Amino acid sequence: MADDTILVVDDETDLVHGLRRTLSMEIDCRVLTAENGVQAIDILSKTNVDVVLADVLMPQMDGFTLLERIKSRDPAGTVIIMTAHGTIEKAVAAIKKGAYDLIQKPLDEARLIHLLRKGLELNRLVRENARLTEAIARKETFGSMVGQSLTMRAIFDKINMLAQSDVTVLILGETGTGKEIAARAIHKLSRRGRRSLITVN
């Protein structure tokens, strides 16, 4: 199954079915559909979606409101707006609200496919950048503590959890097992992280 997922949001049933067929053939992606913004938000709360293609005029929730809701939940979300009444003002408004682009109806299929491919590419780059940034931050935080095993992940999770609390922490272990590294990681992730950590031997 294709890794990429596109969500098409429009109350024009025939258009949605046509787009589902076309996009599945042209882009090799999974295509989900919603009739309005409310349905779209429900889908987005349960499924990872790479690009949202949404109409402006829809019942219950218009495309701009949907765009704002998506961006408030996921600032990196890629949204392309469709409108039958495309104007410069609407395009500017869509971009200001965080849309990747705006396309006018009736849809130019070649331009739409191009836009969606570019949107998927942007989404992959943004997600990969976020993943690498998180990995670098984790490496800096946990120092020489490395590992992907379930045990190490459990230790990292416990360090994150302890750092969010104000409880006193006692770390036990033999010499060389990384007690001080764990203590430094807890300190760095805590609210006191910007202050100095004083060690006493």
150 has pLDDT over 90: no
Find the helix or strand (DSSP H, E) in which 196 lies.
none
pLDDT at residue 143 in the model: 60
* 1 pLDDT tier (thresholds 50, 70, 90): very low
Give ∠ CA 44-49-54 in degrees, rounded to 5. Answer: 75
* Mean pLDDT computed over 90-99: 87
Residue ranges, comma separated, of all CATH 3.40.50.2300 domains in the chain are: 5-133
Q: What is the spatial distance between Cα 31 and Cα 2, in angstroms, rounded to a whole number?
A: 10
Average of per-residue pLDDT values in the chain? 88
**What percentage of the chain exceeds 70 in pLDDT?**
92
Give ∠ CA 158-154-183 in degrees, rounded to 5. Answer: 40
CA 156 centroid distance within chain: 22
136 has pLDDT over 70: no
Give the 3-state secondary structure of residue 118: helix
Helix 63-73 crosses helix 88-96 at what angle (to 10 degrees)? Answer: 20
135 has pLDDT over 70: no
* 138 pLDDT tier (thresholds 50, 70, 90): low
pLDDT at residue 155 in the model: 85
* Mean pLDDT computed over 157-167: 86
Q: Does domain 5-133 have CATH number 2.60.120.1130?
A: no
The pair of structure tokens assigned to 192 is 């006191």
129 has pLDDT over 50: yes
Q: What is the spatial distance between Cα 186 and Cα 160, in angstroms, rounded to a whole number?
A: 7
Closest CA to 181 of 159, 165, 148: 159
* Mean pLDDT computed over 4-31: 94
Give the 3-state secondary structure of residue 25: helix
Listed as own residue / partner, the contacts of 140-145 with beta carbons closer than 8 Å and 24 or more positions apart are 141/185, 141/188, 141/189, 142/181, 142/185, 143/181, 143/184, 143/185, 144/178, 144/181, 145/178, 145/181, 145/182, 145/185
pLDDT at residue 8 in the model: 97
